Amino acid sequence: MKEVIKGHAWVFGDNVDTDQIIPAEYLVTMKNSELAKHAFENAMPKFASQVRKGDIIVAGRNFGCGSSREHAPRALIGAGVSCVVAESFARIFFRNAINIGLPVIETKLASRSGDLVVVDLRRGAIKNERTGESKRFPAYPPFVMMLIEKGGLIPYTKEVLGCRR
Amino acid sequence: MGKTISEKILSSKSGKDVRAGEIVEAKVDYVMVNDITGPAAFDEFEGLCVPPIRNKIVLIPDHYVPNKDVPSAMQAKKMRDFAIRHRIPSYFEVGSGGVCHQLMIEQGFVAPGRLIVGADSHTCSYGALGAFATGIGSTEAATVFARGVLWLRVPESMRFTVDGKLGRFVSGKDVILTIIGDIGVEGARYASMEVSGSSISSMSISDRVTISNMGIEAGAKACIVPPDRKVDDYLRGRVRGAYKWTLPDADADYADQNSYDGAEIVSVVAKPFLPSNVAPASETPVEIDQAYLGSCTNGRIEDLRIAAKILKGRKVRNGVRMIVVPATKDVYDQALKEGIIKTFSDAGAFVSGPTCGACLGGYMGVLAPGERCVSSTNRNFVGRMGAKDSEVYLASPAVVAASAIKGRITDPSEVSR
């Protein structure tokens, strides 16, 4: 996982549910790139065609509420999203993101779409380059940080099981 | 200080004395995946170097079966192939199964004190029988196939007490929607809800499942009803293996406590586009195009009986489609035996076999732009059951049936006999 992430913001409000991130009718594939074609199809129709590699999602409260579909963080990874910053996350989305290696940061960052946002994962710092606002965010619990450092739950599980990488 | 049910179960399953806030790796009793979350788990599992722990795995195709199109047929086939290749005993084929959560309960996988995870957010349903059950993703399900354990943060608990006699048509659905209306869609985020009180004790297991099922709509990790004799009665002749009740200590530490007077709860609906957007059914007389009865939330025989009693000898109003989806084969068979299927058919309703169907906008009753549906399901997000400008009003089976007769959202007392 990259320790410093720079990207342009896509701004969303509160309670962005998994049906908005990826509508259920497209849950017939697990290919990140296929899922990405329909990311936010109803909620923000221009997203899929205009998102660029490295962009960052900045949202309000309870991001990713609703279903357990891992297709949601996978669609965002497929779209090139480098990080999701939200005031708070629904717990299954949070777990899924950590487990598959999509950085998720729980903090409130005032932003407009297009703002350049810089995230330093190790230092726990985030900055909006347009407004100049800098914030610190709390470190992950040690177990979660260990998962992130190993690249997610699958590499960790392989290590525990003694599988060859 | 004593412990909550969640702290006790996760202590027992991790072999450590743990409290809220700690992270554990806990032994899982069962892990369930369905046809849309399973395929990714199967792919991830193939990268691990051990055979699956066969007797812990439950495979249930339900979301897009019978298959709605070729891609969904390929996903269901992937599950079938995995079950055959790894000789997984608990695979429930179309014609023998149904909606995963009802099937997990019916088939005796769920019991008090167990830790059950499922790659579906409504796995929290099993809390109704005193289990700690929570929704997970596909990747983590794959690791449970291999190791039988999963990392979990021990949640804080919030206690909800509902006392008093509920009104004639007031159900578990009205209780949980009323609670979600109060605390909001993230009111229990990361927390475990513990729901008890005399209204809950006098309720059927079916109604309790509806309550636990929708804990996730308040953001909860688990939604647990302390077990009682009704749970034992339900499990007799059904449960797999032995179990023991896990009850909270009298001095357990709760992050929050809320009390409700059951007598004051009325039939409600959750208006678009959040389950917390709750209003009395009697004050929401919007016209509807469709009435949908089914799902893991309200597709049990008890739900069908209530709706059939209201619909018996009456007709679904002209211009309204009513769709009835029994949750499992057992529910279907029982409804057939009791003449309930005929009652629905005579009323002009369409009855399908078990499937998640249109609950998540899959098929079997999706909505056109601008259409409105009153539905016994669990989510009313934008586009949940079809077009992005269609609308879903969540309600109890009684409200769904009464509304189908009137063609507008109706409090069931208005059509009662």
Query: Which residues of chain B are modeled with pLDDT < 70?
Result: none
- Beta carbons of A29 and B71 less than 8 Å apart: yes
CA distance B31 to B162: 31
For B23-37, letters b (16+ CB in 10 Å) and e give ebbbbbbbbbbbbbb
Structural domains in chain B (count): 2
For A143-165, letters b (16+ CB in 10 Å) and e give ebeebbebebbbbbbbeeeeeee
- pLDDT confidence of residue B272: 98
* B86 and B110 in a common domain: yes
Amino acid, single-letter form, for residue B159: R
Residue A90 lies in domain: 4-139
CA distance B334 to B353: 13
- Beta carbons of B139 and A154 less than 8 Å apart: yes
Task: Establish if B67 touches chain A: CB-CB under 8 angstroms.
Answer: no
pLDDT tens digits for range B233-269: 999 999 999 999 999 999 999 999 999 999 999 999 9
Query: Which residue of chain B has the CA closest to A159?
Result: B48
The partner residue sitting opposite A95, judged by closest CB among B140, B361, B384, is: B140
- Residue listed under structure tokens 């009718």: A25
pLDDT tens digits for range B369-406: 999 999 999 999 999 999 999 999 999 999 999 999 99
| A104 min Cα distance to partner chain B (Å) | 16
Torsion angle in degrees (nearest 10) through CA of B61, B65, B71, B73:
80
The partner residue sitting opposite A24, judged by closest CB among B146, B186, B361, is: B361
- pLDDT confidence of residue A165: 59
Task: Establish if B255 touches chain A: CB-CB under 8 angstroms.
Answer: no
Query: What percent of chain A lies above the pLDDT cut of 90?
Result: 85
Largest interatomic CA distance in chain A? 48
Residue at B2 is within a domain: no
- Beta carbons of A153 and B139 less than 8 Å apart: yes
* B129 and B212 in a common domain: yes
Report the DSSP pairing between strands B290-294 and B321-325: parallel
Query: Which residue of chain A has the CA closest to B221?
Result: A91
* B275 and B256 in a common domain: no
The confidence band for A145, taking pLDDT boundaries of 50, 70 and 90, is: confident
Residue at B250 is within a domain: yes
- pLDDT confidence of residue B157: 98
Residue B289 lies in domain: 269-414
- pLDDT confidence of residue A1: 61
- Beta carbons of A30 and B64 less than 8 Å apart: no
- pLDDT confidence of residue A151: 87
Q: Count how many pairs of residues, chain A against chain B, have C-beta atoms within 8 Å.
A: 137
* Region label for B333, one of left (φ > 0), alpha (ψ between -120 and 50) or beta (otherwise): alpha
Residue at A109 is within a domain: yes
The partner residue sitting opposite B382, judged by closest CB among A27, A42, A92, is: A42
Task: Establish if B319 touches chain A: CB-CB under 8 angstroms.
Answer: no
CA distance B84 to B403: 45
Sheet containing strand B115-118, edge to edge, reads: B57-60, B30-34, B115-118, B132-135
Query: Which residue of chain A has the CA closest to B76?
Result: A28
| B180 min Cα distance to partner chain A (Å) | 14
- pLDDT confidence of residue A129: 97
- pLDDT confidence of residue A56: 98
Residue at B1 is within a domain: no
Residue at B403 is within a domain: yes
What CATH number does the domain containing B198 carry?
A: 3.30.499.10
Query: What is this model's ipTM?
Result: 0.93
Structural domains in chain A (count): 1
* B226 and B344 in a common domain: no
What CATH number does the domain containing A129 carry?
A: 3.20.19.10
| A37 pLDDT above the threshold of 90 | yes
Cis omega before residue B66 (within 30°)? yes
| B164 min Cα distance to partner chain A (Å) | 31
Query: Which residue of chain A has the CA closest to B44?
Result: A154
